Amino acid sequence: EDAGPGVRGLRRRSPGLGHQQRVVVGARHPLHVQLGFVAQHERLAGQQVRHAARAHHHRDQAETVFLQALRHAGPRGLAAMPTSALRDGITFARPWLDQPRDAIDAYVRRHRLAPIEDPSNQDARWARNRLRLQVWPVLSAAFEDAEVALAAVARRAQEADAALAELARQDLAEATAGASLSVARIGALSFARQGNALRAWLADRLGHGAADTLVGRLRDEALHKRSGRWPVDGFLEVVLHRGWL
Whether residue 9 contacts residue 123, with contact meaning beta carbons closer than 8 Å, is answered with no
- Kindly report the average pLDDT of the chain as a whole number: 83
The residue among 104 and 43 whose pLDDT is bigger is 104
Arithmetic mean of pLDDT, 129-138: 95
Reported as a pLDDT band with limits 50, 70 and 90, residue 30 is: low
Would strands 176-177 and 180-181 be described as parallel, antiparallel, or unpaired?
A: antiparallel
Mean pLDDT across the stretch 30-53? Answer: 65
- The larger pLDDT score, comparing residue 88 to residue 39, is at 88
Q: How confident is the model at residue 176 (pLDDT cuts 50, 70, 90)?
A: very high
Mean pLDDT in residue range 151-174: 96
| Strand 51-53 to 90-93 pairing | parallel
Dist. CA 67–CA 72, nearest whole Å? 9
Contact 195, 171 (CB under 8 A): no
Compute the distance between CA of residue 220 and CA of residue 121 in angstroms, rounded to an integer: 43
Give the pLDDT score at 224: 87
